[in-house]
Structure 1
């Protein structure tokens, strides 16, 4: 009789409960859940956050849910009982909070960090934008958050890096061993002929669209920049065309920018982001700072909608391939590019084809899933040797466990 192997177990510690329809981070997490489910993992998703009405129904995916607390030794018992093969930290902040408990209670579990994007890079760029300066690599290296995030990467066995730009930063500027990193962008299905048949043609599309979650500072800055400087220049040349702003959790200050007479329509949460993108002729994303891969630009390419964006917008997203739209960094050039894309069918069609090539060549789910599975198995099979070669990681884990552990114990005792 053939023995039935028990499913492998993974614990995902979420910074938030995933909202795939609200955030790019939620979409990324859903892709990872599908990957582990498809590879016969029993998945438990735990978080200290409060769920919202837009949180994904994890149970429907066959994922176990667990509410956990910070600074609580009950988490140790939960870990020991679950005894996962893999623990995946959703962003470095959860590794800081729970990594030492995972290392202590399940030392043989593979520790994976999904960075989502380099939060330190986004944070430094945000400060520079506020101060009207340009963030340098040196500024990033010297930031406190960078030291915390890099330490977290070292303490883990494998970190998933979403953009090629961030991968280069870690390899070339920080000299992190490539064995600790895996560049893993969004894992998407290819755009096929049947998908393209569903795309609305140039003539049937109308208006511009800008999509961005209101909890994300780069999106709010982009919307304000559109309102004050970019859109008036476009509207002057295209007086009957509208710009439709969509986004979950848009604050009141953004909702108040709604001006139908100016063709500036702030419409709030989109029930289906791909539907509104697929009806628009051009996607607008004038991002002045940020990090990672921009979900709105990925979705635009999937919908066959060319985009107008910045160098920050396309950073680390398209390798050597021509962009699926137009890229510039000042208000006048962005407006000119928007008008050109909106009115020139030949240019628009070429940019649409560029977007298709980017998705199919760089975001191929089958290739990326195979790459991830291979690296996980390879690291699991040589975990002791892998950790022995990561002295900096073991040193940081030693100090982190000492400092974080006693602070947590103090808070726990205080709470009692």
Structure 2
């Protein structure tokens, strides 16, 4: 694959210190660089001062525009062999241009998480109802699944999401690949140097505040869970970390209550390993939650919900406790914080989950084996996905002419302003 060129179309510029999505993207980039791919990273988003400097890794960075044919010229010049769309919205915007200008390029979609699943759970929560499958059948589900069907391969981060796509929506499994977080094994020397139970103190919560499940989780902690914990453990504090704190987040800061908003953590794992217990009571969400992976690597047990733990531990015991009501979450958090033996078992469970379920070596080999097979019979693969061809045909027509119309309007407006 030494002559291969990967074009990534990013929803945003990757910020591995701000979100699990940023970390995931850097893991994927690293996979391709190790296989000697030339990598170009593009995005219509504004550059961020917190983004990874990709040029230091030998990656070309380019800002692109939506609804602009300059992207077609860029494609003709670069002629990528592989294209990776970061989330389905990028495939919607740019997929038809790739299909027109680089028909032989393999189109890969990284879903990050199933957006329609997260939104469905959020809606059920807003409705104060138990989540049921009927919540899945939305316009965003149609859009996201159409994007999966148009792509040659979609990377799915959670086995739970694989099951929903295959069993609930009858997506052909040949279009999907389970590719979770890709981690190096934890060795004894890594875990022995971590702070022990006696040298740690306080609770921690972490997560990007632009992400709705994280903001809701913070409110849940502040209003219902933390008062119960603080009553039993009056000396304890909750340190709340997260990128993109806003005024509404900072207003939750209260020294007297021991509820401390700390803002962005320079290094998530370093912050987490000082704490005794991580609290992540997510009431809705999808995908794999990077905060729990960071906690496992930091040797910090976690208390979360069924949604928070989804897809992470499989049949293995969780690295802490799983509970769903405020009272039960608080109770389990207090026990974990107060009982060294229970805490140590939870910590070991976390190391075990990392080493048995997220080994980079295993999944990387499987990924490139799959890519090689697709490269050898891409035309046949596409023929067998005729529904995807139909969707690409109709999407190309509708999106193309809408995009050309917007581009024309933009040019007319520019002329009028001169």
Q: Are 1:318 and 2:318 counterparts?
A: no
**Structure 2 partner of 1:295:** 290
CA–CA distance in 2 between the matches of 1:49 and 1:87?
Answer: 18
**How far off its partner does 1:131 sit?**
2.0
Among candidates 361, 364, 367, match of residue 362 of structure 2: 367
Q: Which residue is equivalent to 1:134?
A: 130
Shift of 1:6: 5.6
Please name the residue that 1:284 is paired with.
279
| Inter-partner Cα distance in structure 2 for 1:106 and 1:136 | 41
Q: Which residue of 2 aligns with 1:341?
A: 336
TM-score, with length taken from structure 1 = 0.98
Deviations 1:112-133 (A, max 9, x none): 0000000111111122222222
Cα distance in structure 1, aligned partners of 2:2 and 2:220: 54
Choose the corresponding residue for 2:9, options 5, 8, 13: 13
For 1:108, the equivalent position in structure 2 comes to 104
Q: Summarize deviations over 1:71-124 as a string: whole Å, max 9, x none.
A: 111101111111111000000000000000000100000000000000111111
1:179 aligns with 2:174: yes
Question: Counterpart in 2 of 1:41?
Answer: 37
Q: C-alpha distance in 1, partners of 2:201/2:126?
A: 34
Name the structure 2 match of 1:71: 67
Q: How far apart in 1 are the matches of 2:139 and 2:259? A: 39
Residues 2, 36 of structure 2: 8 Å contact kept: no
* Cα RMSD, aligned residues only: 0.9
Gaps of 5+ in 2: 412-418
Q: Which of 15, 22, 28 is equivalent to 1:26?
A: 22
Query: Is 1:376 aligned to 2:371, yes or no?
Result: yes
Q: Which residue of 1 aligns with 2:415?
A: none
> Secondary structure of 1:209's match?
strand
Q: Which residue among 303, 324, 335 is the counterpart of 1:308?
A: 303
Q: Which moved more, 1:210-219 or 1:131-140?
A: 131-140
**Aligned-partner Cα distance in 2 for 1:30–1:198:** 26
Which residue in 2 is equivalent to 1:198? 193
Q: Is 2:159 the partner of 1:170? A: no
Structure 1 residue corresponding to 2:233, chosen from 238, 259, 279? 238
The DSSP-based 3-state class of the residue aligned with 2:316 is coil
Q: Give per-residue Cα distances to partners, 1:47-76, cap 9 Å, x unaligned.
A: 000011101100001110111100111101
Q: How many angstroms apart in 1 are the aligned matches of 2:55 and 2:49? A: 15
What is the CA–CA distance in structure 2 between the aligned matches of 1:229 and 1:216, rounded to whole Å? 20
Native 8 Å contact 2:2 2:35 kept in 1? no
Q: Deviations over 1:224-246 (max 9, x none)?
A: 11011100000110000100000
| 1-structure distance, mates of 2:253, 2:264 | 14
CA distance in 2 between counterparts of 1:144 and 1:338 reads: 39
For residue 229 of structure 1, give the secondary structure of its aligned residue in structure 2: helix
Distance in 2 between residues matched to 1:291 and 1:66, nearest whole Å:
30
Could you tell me how far apart the structure 2 residues matched to 1:56 and 1:16 are? 11
Quote the offset at 1:319 in angstroms.
Answer: 1.1
Q: Which residue of 2 aligns with 1:55?
A: 51
Answer yes or no: is the 8 Å Cα contact 2:118–2:286 preserved in 1.
yes
How many residues matched?
A: 411
Who is 1:410 aligned against?
405
2:76 aligns with one of 72, 75, 80: 80
- Consecutive unaligned residues in structure 1, runs of 5 or more: none
Instruction: Please give the alpha-carbon distance, in whole angstroms, between the structure 2 residues aligned to 1:15 and 1:369.
Output: 23
